[in-house]
A and B are shown apart, each in its own frame.
Chain A
Amino acid sequence: MGYMSKVLLSAASGAAMLLGGQLGPVQAQDGKDANFVPLFTYRTGPFSGSGIPIANGMRDYLEMLNQRDGGVGGAKIVIEECETGYDTKKGLECYEAVKGRNPVMVNPWSTGITLPLIPRAAVDKIPVLSMAYGLSASADGQTFPWIFNPPNTYWDGLSVIVKHIADELGGLDKLKGKKIGYIYLDAGFGKEPIPMFEQFAKDLGFELKLYPVAATDMQNQSSQWLGVRRDKPDYMVMYGWGALNPTAIKEATRINYPMNRFISIWWPSEDDARSAGAGAKGFRELNWHGVGTDFPVLKDIQKHVVDKGLSKVAKGKEGEVLYNRGVYNSMLIAEGIRNAQKLTGKKAVTGEDVRRGLEAINLTPERLKELGMEGFTDPLKLGCADHNGHGAAFVQEWDGEKYVKIGGPIKPMEDKVGPVAAAAAKDYVEKNAGWPKRSEACDSK
């Protein structure tokens, strides 16, 4: 019985040992200083529609820094993609594969992969950058010194959406008696805002209708939209990912739901709206950074990466929402490294240095201009307590070809979101008895 199995096991493990042998700390080929940035990406599987543009954007920005400036602060960036397929077990395998090679940080790009990494980050000394996803409570830097999720959380996003609806109606008090539908991915990500949403419904007097979509049923939402047709909500709010988004937009056009009352969190891409045809015109979503290539940073990427054939991005896809989101993510990576270099005086930095570097992120308007991101995004300042920034978001509308920004930045309702976030962080600590108190020193007072 177990006999042969184990022969094969040991053979396989012997082979793996051989393979493991060649994994050492990363250095640039010419032996100079380098910083290793592993990118957990998913170009395969049911979520690849969202994963591919993000992967391209992240990679291309870092590659652009390598090509244009020779890396960050004179140290090349060693970029390595690891395919997760949005699958937690593959993500963990990726993490185990890179963690011994002095990565400056990890970007899991999946809430399911982020959660197991949260307790490990402090032990392995590898910061986790889960940009506007993951555990919303991890915005609290005093409790989660190693986790960063700027520039805003899903709760912030929800409060911005509610504010936007109120603005359209002419004030928060006008929400009374309205009906708002919420269609969401029935997983941690989509369910997280519900308690907050219910609180808003109670405080502001609107009725909340829930339309959960199971991950296995993302492409079959007819029953949910039948419900929408019956309930006739005044507004629809969506928290979706992967195939959920295009399907929902398509179904909304099919029942002639007024698209300018259909508002999503920041994940739908151009392709998601485009596939629904002309009827999708007017569809709205949140965003916190520019779309299109009309920014110096995007021009540089085109010049140094895309035109040289170093990118995997399809022609004309650079500048799309999720591509630019990848660029934004990588800009944070590079800023974290740069700050770490400044703080330590070293060129090749470690995860511990970059954790301090991320806490020191301060994207002033001047800094954004230097980065070629003037008008691309709002200023952002992180600190030891605030790992998020709780920045403003704006609403953009699909005009049939591209997303157009409508209206100015809307600040999250800090008074409503703050207590919920604090309670969630406290709850996490309570449930994980023995959660360590922050022992990491704080650079910025």
Chain B
Amino acid sequence: MLYRETGQFKTSYKADMAVFPIRQDRIGLAIILLLAFVAMPLFGGGFLLSAVMIPLLVFALAALGLNLLTGYTGQLSLGTAGFMGVGAYACYKLTTFFPEVNLIVWILASGFFSAAVGVVFGLPSLRIKGFYLAVATLAAQFFLQWCFIRIPWLYNNNVSGAIEAPVRTLFGMPITGPHATPELRYLVVLSIVALLTWIASNLVHGRIGRSWMAVRDMDIAAELMGIRLLPTKLLAFAVSSFYCGVAGALMVFLWYGSAEPEVFSISQSFLILFMVIIGGLGSLIGSFLGAALIYGLPIVLKSLFPMLGLSVGAATVEHITFMVVGAMIIGFLIVEPHGLASIWRTIKQKLRVWPFPY
């Protein structure tokens, strides 16, 4: 079939270790990037872009951040939404203090604030593991949300207690506020997510990623091999929080437009954790697949029933979604603990050797 590597010889070590060793993969990636960057904004339409694609990319980025920490380094975290909140509030403060600086600079910069907070809450990870660490990050979640509610300085003393994205422009065109077109907002989000995904890919395929995975697989062995645990774990916390922070800033500025502290609640953290689990721990594609499934499924279900000519109440669809997602989480944990990414790997392997079953 089309997907086979016959005749593609690797003549150098570099080619053999490439992220995409098979030519079809590279072509496929190029096509997808082309679709995402060109076809989608041209033909996508307002609803698809602003209610499906932007949220999906934001969640994918947050899931990717959590995946770096939980999937690659093995540190369970329940503070994702809190770190997203730090990014969002940092970006809000920065852009209201320095309105003349381009918003995209602040979105990326806000990740560093989130990273710093992440490092602080990652400190206990040297001593505590597993469930206990989860509880420590849970503390981060509650503490950060408490700050968002209780420190009026963070939301510029707004009477509503919410942060509102002011109008900011890029090349003279608004990217936030009511006049920003969905196409432009989508392209900004997509560019940032694509850039950060590329960086993450390089991180996990390099020395840093390998040391993370070594810590995940057995921290004592990793230590004996000369990996310093604390810096490695803290770096994972920092990078993970950076990604979450940028996702949070994107969420408030390019998607919601304004946000109450309630947006960064524990349920958001769980949602992203589910995305990582269903998508596949320790896999970058998994983060995208998980976000697509968990966020996309309710939307598809919502439109599916009217399409089939069934009149189902809006609330019933919601109940069905809860049941389906719940069943899926249990099902995946039993049948395919490595998530959608693992299914994708299996499919790819089968295609490579097709038609032979081995």
A92-B51 in contact given A7-B28, A116-B257 (Cβ < 8 Å): yes
Q: B177, A119: Cβ atoms under 8 Å?
A: yes
User: Could you tell me the distance in whole angstroms from the C-beta of A10 to the nearest C-beta in chain B?
Assistant: 5
Q: Choose, from A12-20, A362-370, A404-412, the stretch at the interface.
A: A12-20
User: Could you tell me the distance in whole angstroms from the C-beta of A184 to the nearest C-beta in chain B?
Assistant: 12
- Secondary structure at the B interface, as helix, strand, loop or mixed, is helix
Q: B47, A3: Cβ atoms under 8 Å?
A: no
User: Could you tell me the distance in whole angstroms from the C-beta of A231 to the nearest C-beta in chain B?
Assistant: 20
User: Could you tell me the distance in whole angstroms from the C-beta of A224 to the nearest C-beta in chain B?
Assistant: 15
User: Which chain B residues numbered 5 to 52 have a C-beta less than 8 Å away from chain A?
Assistant: 19-20, 25, 28-29, 32-33, 35-36, 40, 43-48, 50-52
Q: B300, A115: Cβ atoms under 8 Å?
A: no
Q: B43, A136: Cβ atoms under 8 Å?
A: no
A13 to B49, CA, bound (A): 9
Q: A93, B299: Cβ atoms under 8 Å?
A: yes
Q: B56, A9: Cβ atoms under 8 Å?
A: yes
From B44, B60, B255, A5 is in contact (CB under 8 Å) with B60
- Secondary structure at the A interface, as helix, strand, loop or mixed, is helix
What total count of A-B pairs have CB within 8 Å? 197
User: Could you tell me the distance in whole angstroms from the C-beta of B233 to the nearest C-beta in chain A?
Assistant: 23
Q: B307, A19: Cβ atoms under 8 Å?
A: yes
A168 in contact (CB, < 8 A): no
Q: Choose, from A187-195, A299-307, A392-400, the stretch at the interface.
A: A187-195
A96-B46 in contact given A13-B52, A433-B166 (Cβ < 8 Å): yes
User: Could you tell me the distance in whole angstroms from the C-beta of B77 to the nearest C-beta in chain A?
Assistant: 18
Q: B52, A187: Cβ atoms under 8 Å?
A: no
Q: B32, A12: Cβ atoms under 8 Å?
A: no
Mark interface residues in B260-279 (1 if CB within 8 Å of A CB, else 0): 11110110000000000000
User: Which chain B residues numbered 279 to 317 have a C-beta less than 8 Å away from chain A?
Assistant: 284-285, 287-289, 292, 296, 299-300, 303, 306-307, 313-315, 317
Mark interface residues in A242-260 (1 if CB within 8 Å of B CB, else 0): 0000000000000000000
User: Which chain A residues numbered 319 to 349 have a C-beta less than 8 Å away from chain B?
Assistant: none
Q: B263, A431: Cβ atoms under 8 Å?
A: no
Number of interface residues of A (CB under 8 A): 64
A13-B166 in contact given A1-B19, A122-B178, A187-B261 (Cβ < 8 Å): no
A237 in contact (CB, < 8 A): no
A356 in contact (CB, < 8 A): no
B219 in contact (CB, < 8 A): no
A305 to B11, CA, bound (A): 77
Residue of B nearest to A80 (CB): B314
From B40, B160, B341, A188 is in contact (CB under 8 Å) with B160
User: Could you tell me the distance in whole angstroms from the C-beta of B260 to the nearest C-beta in chain A?
Assistant: 5
A226 in contact (CB, < 8 A): no
User: Which chain B residues numbered 337 to 357 have a C-beta less than 8 Å away from chain A?
Assistant: 341, 344
Contacts of A191 in B (CB 8 A): 161
B319 in contact (CB, < 8 A): yes
Q: B257, A120: Cβ atoms under 8 Å?
A: yes
Residue of A nearest to B260 (CB): A112
A4 in contact (CB, < 8 A): yes
B164 in contact (CB, < 8 A): yes
Q: A186, B178: Cβ atoms under 8 Å?
A: no
Range, interface on chain B: 35 or more
A6-B314 in contact given A89-B256, A188-B160, A433-B99 (Cβ < 8 Å): no
B333 in contact (CB, < 8 A): no
A29 in contact (CB, < 8 A): no
User: Could you tell me the distance in whole angstroms from the C-beta of A241 to the nearest C-beta in chain B?
Assistant: 11
Q: A123, B179: Cβ atoms under 8 Å?
A: yes
Contacts of B322 in A (CB 8 A): 44
A16 to B261, CA, bound (A): 30
Q: B288, A187: Cβ atoms under 8 Å?
A: no
Q: A16, B46: Cβ atoms under 8 Å?
A: no
A186 to B266, CA, bound (A): 16
Residue of B nearest to A1 (CB): B284
A44-B318 in contact given A96-B51, A431-B164, A432-B164 (Cβ < 8 Å): yes
Q: B284, A2: Cβ atoms under 8 Å?
A: yes
A111 in contact (CB, < 8 A): yes
From A44, A100, A120, B315 is in contact (CB under 8 Å) with A44
User: Could you tell me the distance in whole angstroms from the C-beta of A65 to the nearest C-beta in chain B?
Assistant: 20
Q: B260, A88: Cβ atoms under 8 Å?
A: yes
Q: A124, B178: Cβ atoms under 8 Å?
A: yes
Residue of B nearest to A196 (CB): B159
Contacts of B232 in A (CB 8 A): none
B194 in contact (CB, < 8 A): yes
Q: B344, A4: Cβ atoms under 8 Å?
A: yes
Q: A88, B161: Cβ atoms under 8 Å?
A: no
A8 in contact (CB, < 8 A): yes
Q: B159, A116: Cβ atoms under 8 Å?
A: no
A111-B288 in contact given A4-B344, A17-B44, A83-B317 (Cβ < 8 Å): no
A444 in contact (CB, < 8 A): no
A9 to B296, CA, bound (A): 9
Contacts of A188 in B (CB 8 A): 160-162, 260
A131 in contact (CB, < 8 A): no
Residue of B nearest to A41 (CB): B314
- Give 7 pairs: A residue, B residue, CB < 8 Å, sorted on A: A2-B32, A3-B32, A97-B47, A112-B259, A112-B262, A137-B159, A216-B266
The 5 closest A-B pairs by CB, nearest first: A5-B288, A43-B315, A6-B32, A96-B51, A188-B161
Task: A5-B285, A88-B256 given; name 9 further pairs at CB < 8 Å.
Answer: A1-B201, A4-B285, A13-B48, A92-B51, A99-B46, A123-B179, A186-B149, A214-B146, A215-B262
